Amino acid sequence: MTAYEVVVLGGGSAGEAVARGLAERNRSVALIEDRLVGGECPYLACMPSKAMLRAAAQGRSWRDAVRFRDEVAEHRDDSETAKSLAEVGVEVVRGRGVITSPGVVHVGGRELRYTDLVIATGSASVIPKLDGLDESSTWTSDDALSSDELPARLLVLGGGPIGCELAQVYARFGSDVTIIESTEHLLPKEPPFVGDLIRIALEGDGVDVQLNKQLERAPDDDTRLLVATGTNPRVDGIGLEVLGIKPNDDGALGTDERMRVIDHVWAIGDVNGVAPYTHAANYQAKVVVDNLTGTPRRSDHRAIPRTVYTDPSVFCVGDTSGEPAAQMHVGETARAAVEEREEGVVALYADASAGVLVGAAVVGPAADHWAGELTLAIRAQVPLPVLADVVHAFPTFSEALEPAYAELAR
């Protein structure tokens, strides 16, 4: 048995970040992972999908795009990431970890003792039960972003961020793409206008968008089925019952503001269900590192960006429920005229009594690049009169924010 101050169960984005941060503060750390160290984002999700979107926008051939994707994803080889962790003092343990008693995790033939346990096991794709479904030939996003195949026909089940991004990728490379979403608009967790604008964009790329529809049966022809209906936290079979921990109804591990589940047990990343984004996982890792190294810290998730990297892109942050207090069309900016782009909307949501911005939803060309100031405005609770006094460079898309700020200030 080997003893560590901290054992991290799961070596994805969250696990890697917390293990590295703790080791850099001279804590003894073991990181347990049975798949790719660094998680899906660099190898099978965020990075390869953005590479494919860029390649499609540049008009590259499919073969060249796949080559570029695999280079960006480091050919799904995590050896350098594991090596860099070892260099800062993290012991990387390959295998599936199971909690066998309070303070002990079993992996392979070893038992690792811990003072604190960080659970960062992530989430897994949900495969729906459909008549005629052959899971061996059904793609998840991981499969789509690691395959060399360009299907002639692709049916994307699910109109969330992943479904929309991959629908646009394959349509731009020549696949006959259909996307099916069971709700009234794409990107159902965002304001309706966001999904409507992305629908228009996808249809412009030739995608057949079908809303308010349930798929009853898997296609029985040569259509490739890509399932993008969401994920569930990976909590089964890791021994939570030994610690008396029961997941929430949605399968996630509930935490307090310090990201603590119970004393000496913490949960970060997708497994806690708070904000399923790599940047949120990395933020939560920093919170836990501080709490475990003598700097009490509470998390604040009011201003976690939600991005979709389609063209146009989507940037949402904060509370976007209800009706927006101000709106502006991005196509009315001088930069839009230069770029020959007419689409895009900025919608701002405010707390009138407090005089601050609480949410924002933006669709527009490269919105993920220029709308970031909205995150700071919400997180720092910048007064509306101050926002209305901000000067933006001319000509930029961010000028679309000025009339909306001014309207809110009035």
Question: In which element (H, E) is residue 107 found?
Answer: strand 104-107
DSSP letter string over 264-294?
Answer: TEEE-GGGG-S--SHHHHHHHHHHHHHHHTT
Q: What span, in angstroms and rounded, lies between the C-alpha atoms of 368 and 375?
A: 11
Mean pLDDT, rounded, of the chain: 96
pLDDT in tens, 42-64: 999 999 999 999 999 999 999 99
Which two tokens mark 250? 């949605």
Would the pLDDT of 136 be above 90? Answer: no
Helix, strand or coil for residue 336?
Answer: helix
Strands 356-364 and 313-318: antiparallel
Q: What span, in angstroms and rounded, lies between the C-alpha atoms of 286 and 299?
A: 9
CB 243 within 8 A of CB 102: yes
Which stretches of 300-379 are DSSP H helices? 334-339, 367-370, 373-379
Instruction: Check residue 212 and give left, alpha or beta (phi > 0: left; psi -120 to 50: alpha).
Output: left
Q: What integer is the mean pLDDT of 150-168?
A: 97
CB 283 within 8 A of CB 269: no
pTM of this prediction? 0.96
Q: What span, in angstroms and rounded, lies between the C-alpha atoms of 406 and 348?
A: 11
Q: What span, in angstroms and rounded, lies between the C-alpha atoms of 378 and 358?
A: 5
Helix, strand or coil for residue 83?
Answer: helix
Which two tokens mark 175? 């696949």
Q: Round the CA-based radius of gyration of the chain to a whole number and report it.
A: 22
pLDDT at 1: 74
Q: What integer is the mean pLDDT of 364-389?
A: 97
CB 158 within 8 A of CB 228: yes
Burial environment of residue 391 by CB neighbours within 10 A (0 to 12, 13 to 18, 19 or more): exposed
> Which of 309, 307, 334 minimizes the C-alpha distance to 201?
309
Which two tokens mark 223? 């259509």
pLDDT in tens, 75-112: 999 999 999 999 999 999 999 999 999 999 999 999 99
pLDDT at 329: 96
Q: How many helices (H) and strands (E) does the chain have?
A: 14, 19
Q: Percentage of the chain surpassing pLDDT 70?
A: 100
pLDDT at 133: 87
Would the pLDDT of 134 be above 80? Answer: yes
Question: Residue 90's beta-bridge partner residues?
Answer: 29
Q: What span, in angstroms and rounded, lies between the C-alpha atoms of 305 and 311?
A: 17
Q: What integer is the mean pLDDT of 8-13?
A: 97
Q: What span, in angstroms and rounded, lies between the C-alpha atoms of 164 and 312?
A: 11
The pLDDT-based confidence of 344 (bands split at 50, 70, 90) is very high
Measured CA distances, 338 to 197, 213, 335 (Å): 21, 39, 5
pLDDT in tens, 289-338: 999 999 999 999 999 999 999 999 999 999 999 999 999 999 999 999 99
Q: What span, in angstroms and rounded, lies between the C-alpha atoms of 176 and 312?
A: 20
> Which of 190, 223, 191 minimizes the C-alpha distance to 208?
223
Which two tokens mark 244? 């008396």
Query: φ and ψ at 85, to 5 degrees?
Result: -65, -45
Q: What span, in angstroms and rounded, lies between the C-alpha atoms of 148 and 199?
A: 27
Q: What span, in angstroms and rounded, lies between the C-alpha atoms of 204 and 215?
A: 23
pLDDT at 230: 92
Q: What integer is the mean pLDDT of 24-40?
A: 96
The pLDDT-based confidence of 264 (bands split at 50, 70, 90) is very high
Q: What share of residues in the chain are helix, strand, coil (percent, to 5)?
A: 35, 25, 40
Q: Quick one: CA torsion of 100, 106, 110, 113, rounded to 10 degrees?
A: -70
Q: What span, in angstroms and rounded, lies between the C-alpha atoms of 347 and 320?
A: 9
The pLDDT-based confidence of 148 (bands split at 50, 70, 90) is very high
pLDDT at 137: 83
Query: φ and ψ at 296, to 5 degrees?
Result: -55, 130
pLDDT at 286: 98
- Range with lowest mean pLDDT among 8-12, 67-71, 90-94, 221-225: 221-225
Would the pLDDT of 135 be above 90? Answer: no
